Amino acid sequence: MTDRSLLILPGDGIGPEVMAEVRKVIDWFGSAQGITFDVSEDLVGGAAYDAHGVPLTDATMAKAQEVDAVLLGAVGGPAYDDLDFSVKPERGLLRLRKEMDLYANLRPAQCFDALADFSSLKREVVSGLDIMILRELTSGVYFGEPRGIHTEGNERVGINTQRYTEGEIARAARSAFELARRRNNKVCSMEKANVMESGILWRDVVNEIHAAEYGDVELSHMYADNGAMQLVRAPKQFDVILTDNLFGDILSDCAAMLTGSLGMLPSASLGAPMANGRPKAMYEPVHGSAPDITGQGKANPIACILSFAMALRYSFDLGDEATRLERAVEGVLADGARTADLMGPEGGTPISTSEMGDAIVAKL
Amino acid sequence: MTDRSLLILPGDGIGPEVMAEVRKVIDWFGSAQGITFDVSEDLVGGAAYDAHGVPLTDATMAKAQEVDAVLLGAVGGPAYDDLDFSVKPERGLLRLRKEMDLYANLRPAQCFDALADFSSLKREVVSGLDIMILRELTSGVYFGEPRGIHTEGNERVGINTQRYTEGEIARAARSAFELARRRNNKVCSMEKANVMESGILWRDVVNEIHAAEYGDVELSHMYADNGAMQLVRAPKQFDVILTDNLFGDILSDCAAMLTGSLGMLPSASLGAPMANGRPKAMYEPVHGSAPDITGQGKANPIACILSFAMALRYSFDLGDEATRLERAVEGVLADGARTADLMGPEGGTPISTSEMGDAIVAKL
Ligand SMILES: CC(C)[C@H](C(=O)O)[C@@H](O)C(=O)O
Ligand SMILES: CC(C)[C@H](C(=O)O)[C@@H](O)C(=O)O
């Protein structure tokens, strides 16, 4: 028993495949460095639905609340497309986010130099790109009530509610400003204050927190549609982007794709500090369950391995070990190791998920 | 008096500048072709607010309801940022869309070959790109009630409502399928049915209309976050994209920017047929009011001129004339005429807004 507890939720699709490679990394830290983790594993998403009829059991939820960090693979897939909304695989993920109150979702969009040519954007537009999107993750239209489909007259009507409280906006804003201070000191906040009152409140609260507590950080605002444009046109103008749950979903995927390295990008979802001082935390790759390549040994485990690196840094105070792992990943890329997703049009021979995991462990 | 009535609303920022060039085109059609329009002009947005204290007067609204087509420049700008939400310039535009019931917003994202190198994307990714986004324009979170900012306990709360009825989705879907039949027969519908019930209804209704009336059109569905990714990764996979008001706002801006030709892209917003058989219609460039270059003769009038070409085609049954105008635009580009926005990093001497208008008229 150590004081580092980690709950692994591989989930669906390629989730279990990439997680197997993280296990190798965890084992290496134990055997080579004496840094051990108290690892447990459980089901989430479609896998949990298949076993228990729900995408997350209460027992798993309780466990997630107790550990220092959760590492999740991916959820969802076509096999679950016709499930009732309330038991969709995604609801397991959303329940974790909501009940653990993980309000600050950190999504880096970073261009790995060895892979810059793999982007659909020109090299000079993306090379050296390093932006961080802070997406509010526990509120907004994902969770607002009332919601649902009902009948009015003889028509169906679908309703969702975008709802943000001042406190929800303020805590996300603080996280963004704190992040910016450790980076290039710039925050750009994105909403649609020109058409939505929730966007007006968002902008007002961000301005207030900025004026009262973070006057040293450079703050700008952009409408989210313009934000999407600017991300495509000249992404290097940004440092930290602060935005809400729904805009963050779309803008972070857009930003991730700019780098051409979707299989490379990790994320961290952080909440308030627990009794031991560590933040409530869940880590997951930005990519999804990739049903089209599931079970073929083609998945890139790097996003999940780098998510574990984020866990080392943010949950376990093992910043040096995180850096070591990140360097190992850069090293194997520099050596030319490529999974199938990292093959350019010129081709070459990709290595398998498992070979990539082995190569990274060998570099450590 | 002719039976072709057109209301021109130049609006704010560069709106009046680009509209002056459309006037030249209209004059040319009258003098050279005997094709005349009954043109009136009025205020919208900040310009209307400055004159009347509202971003659209009832008189202008009534006029817009009567004409065959409205041509709008742009609304908004920093001078109006601190206005109360209810009188913001944007509300004038939204009132036009809502009261004219312009539910089908057509936004082409087209890559002009002469400009392909100006995109931030690689030439091979965007050259020949020709997609059409059909954005639902009269409903969703832009208009849903309840909305506003109120106080709960001692906190402010911002609320907006995403609301779609079956009928609203169905008519937008039909427009998309009709468009696809005249193009490459493919529709991709985008929503977040994995997290929003309004997205589930959207997907269901689109499937129902497809099965009942448009089985010959190829239909696919994508989550909007993945849609943003795919637009960046491989935009040529799409033909018609069907999506709601808010996703359409972001995705169409993203798509427009792919082409590197934002100053080139027109749009049409269409409603139900009027008594004379013509659809209720408003045309506007995709770009905004561009306050940073207002009054400097730098604006590109092509998006507004091509919006007038769309009016010729969709409102006035003048398809040949529309094509003639589009060819003239292509012609001047092929000749190398470039406004400042179309200058690549290699530089060159841009021509002014007015010179571009003159060049296009000379080509006609
Ligand atoms: C799987 C889905 C529920 C999720 C979201 O919409 O938040 C995903 O797209 C993400 O970005 O993590
Ligand atoms: C100006 C604004 C109200 C508008 C919108 O959000 O719809 C604009 O962004 C657009 O896309 O036409």
Strands A69-74 and B155-165: unpaired
Residue B142: half-sphere exposure toward Cβ, Cα within 13 Å: 20
Backbone angles phi, psi at B6, to 5 degrees: -135, 125
**Domain B130-258 annotated CATH 3.30.930.10:** no
Among A20, A69, A52, A40, CA closest to A318: A69
Pocket flag, ligand 1, residue B229 (CB < 6 Å): no
A158 φ, ψ (degrees, to nearest 5): -105, 130
Identical topology for domains A1-107+261-364 and A130-258? yes
* B242 strand-pairing partners: B134, B189
Instruction: Provide the CATH topology of domain B1-107+262-364.
Output: Isopropylmalate Dehydrogenase (3.40.718)
State how far residue A275 is from chain B, nearest Cα, in angstroms: 27
- How many Cα atoms within 13 Å fall on the side-chain side of residue B68? 20
CA distance linking residue B261 with residue B264, whole number of Å: 5
Cis status of the peptide bond prior to A55, with omega within 30 of 0: no
pLDDT of residue A345: 65
pLDDT tier, B70 (very low <50, low <70, confident <90, very high otherwise): very high
* Residue A323 to chain B, least CA–CA distance (Å): 29
Report which bound ligand comes closest to the CA of B55.
2
C-alpha span between A92 and A99 (Å, rounded): 11
- Cβ-proximal residues to B77 (8 Å cutoff; 6+ apart), any chain: B12, B13, B46, B89, B289, B291, B294
A214 is catalytic: no
pLDDT of residue B347: 72
> Whole-angstrom Cα distance, residue A136 to residue A127?
27
Q: Which two tokens stand for residue A80?
A: 């679950």
The rounded Cα B14 to chain-centroid distance in angstroms is 16
Domain assignments of chain A as residue spans, ordered by start: 1-107+261-364, 130-258
Q: How far is the CA of A162 from the centre of ligand 2 (A)?
A: 18
pLDDT at B17: 98
Residue B36, pLDDT above cutoff 60: yes
Mean pLDDT of A137-166: 98
* Residue B1: predicted pLDDT: 52
- Check pLDDT > 70 for residue B29: yes
The single residue of A12, A68, A239, A249 carrying the catalytic annotation is A249
**Interchain proximity B160–A257, CB inside 8 Å:** no
Q: Which of A93, A133, A257, A307 has most ligand 1 atoms within 8 Å of CB, for mutation?
A: A93
The per-residue pLDDT for B348 is: 80
DSSP state of A102: -
Closest-CA residue, ligand 2 atom 1, reads: B90
pLDDT tens readout for residues B131-151: 999 999 999 999 999 999 999
Catalytic residue among B42, B249, B283, B314: B249
pLDDT tens readout for residues A173-232? 999 999 999 999 999 999 999 999 999 999 999 999 999 999 999 999 999 999 999 999
Number of Cβ within 10 Å of residue B108's Cβ equals 21
As a whole number of angstroms, the longest Cα–Cα distance in chain B is: 68
Smallest CA–CA distance, residue A166 to chain B, in Å, is 5
Which candidate in A192, A214, A239, A341 is catalytic?
A: A192
CATH number assigned to the domain with residue range A1-107+261-364, chosen from the 4 options 3.40.640.10, 3.40.50.150, 3.40.718.10, 3.40.50.2300: 3.40.718.10
User: Which residue does chain B place closest to A89, by CA atoms?
Assistant: B194
Q: 0.85 exceeded by the pTM?
A: yes
Question: Is the model's pLDDT at A1 over the cut of 60?
Answer: no
Tens-digit pLDDT profile for residues B79-91: 998 899 999 999 9
CB atoms within 10 A of CB B296: 13
Please count the CA atoms within 13 angstroms of the CA of B169 that sit on its side-chain side.
26
How remote is the CA of residue A133 from the centroid of ligand 1, in Å? 14
Q: Is the pLDDT of residue A78 over 70?
A: yes
Residue A113: predicted pLDDT: 82
Q: Do B120 and A232 touch (CB under 8 A)?
A: yes
* pLDDT mean across residues, chain B: 96
| Distance of alpha carbon B13 from alpha carbon B160, whole angstroms | 29
In this predicted structure, the answer to whether residue B312 has a pLDDT above a threshold of 60 is yes
Residue B42 annotated in active site: no
